[in-house]
């Protein structure tokens, strides 16, 4: 979904709560939305991580013990590295800062599955910002925003939105744990006969 769609959902939640049920035209609230969505995005992305794949090839043996491969700018954490060997070498590698170090004799194709840092919401990208989170994680964000906006209104009872957000976060944590508990190991290699 796009940021503008989730902003509409958050505003509908806030408007639904208001006693007069008219759409709010409060510019102060509208100015806070990008920052609030950004905060929620980074919090939720720690629980329901954004998964991406980085593919590359290593076709030449280098002089150094390990060849350095630059990691994507949004790399946060390794999930799995697949190695499709062309010379039957066992995979040896490690990650150091923003580099993946592959043993020089490991030739072939690689697929690095990794967890990504979300792109920050800024004034420059807010109009066409598209969330990379899974839909179930995205749907928690408007409740965080509605709760945060209404928290500053002393006459508002923001706790219903806060409770809904917390329930969605709890569900995301459970599903992330279930996914972790059922992970598998896959070993791939190409053997020339």
The predicted pLDDT at position 3 comes to 95
The predicted pLDDT at position 28 comes to 85
The predicted pLDDT at position 55 comes to 97
Positions in the chain whose pLDDT score sits under 70: 17-24, 154, 181-193
- 171, HSE (Cβ side, Cα atoms, 13 Å): 11
The predicted pLDDT at position 16 comes to 75
The predicted pLDDT at position 115 comes to 96
The predicted pLDDT at position 183 comes to 55
The predicted pLDDT at position 182 comes to 65
Give residue for tokens 């053997």.
191
The predicted pLDDT at position 21 comes to 55
The per-residue pLDDT for range 21-41, each reduced to its tens digit, is: 555 677 888 889 999 999 999
Query: Are the CB atoms for 117 and 93 separated by under 8 Å?
Result: no
The predicted pLDDT at position 79 comes to 95
What is the pTM (predicted TM-score) of this model?
0.80
Longest dimension (CA), the chain: 76
Pairing of strands 99-103, 66-70: antiparallel
Contacting residues for 114 by C-beta, under 8 A, at least 6 apart? 51, 52, 53, 54, 71, 72, 75, 76, 77, 78, 79
Contacting residues for 156 by C-beta, under 8 A, at least 6 apart? 17, 150
The predicted pLDDT at position 153 comes to 76
């Amino acid at each position: 979904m796009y940021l503008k769609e989730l902003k509409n959902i958050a505003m509908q939640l806030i408007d639904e709560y208001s006693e007069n049920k008219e759409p709010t035209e409060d510019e102060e609230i509208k100015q806070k939305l990008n920052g609030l969505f950004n905060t929620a995005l980074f919090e939720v992305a720690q629980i329901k991580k954004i998964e991406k794949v980085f593919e590359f090839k290593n076709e030449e043996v280098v002089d150094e013990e390990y060849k350095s491969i630059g990691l994507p700018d949004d790399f946060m954490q390794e999930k799995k590295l697949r190695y499709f060997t062309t010379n039957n070498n066992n995979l040896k590698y490690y990650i150091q800062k923003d580099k993946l170090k592959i043993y020089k004799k490991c030739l072939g194709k690689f697929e690095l599955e990794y967890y990504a840092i979300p792109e920050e919401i800024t004034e420059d990208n807010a109009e066409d910002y598209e969330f990379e989170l899974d839909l179930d994680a995205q749907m928690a964000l408007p409740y965080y925003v509605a709760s945060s906006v209404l928290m500053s209104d002393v006459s508002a009872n923001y706790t219903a939105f806060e409770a809904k957000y917390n329930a969605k976060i709890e569900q995301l944590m459970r599903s992330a744990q279930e996914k972790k508990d059922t992970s598998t190991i896959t070993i791939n290699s190409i053997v020339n006969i």
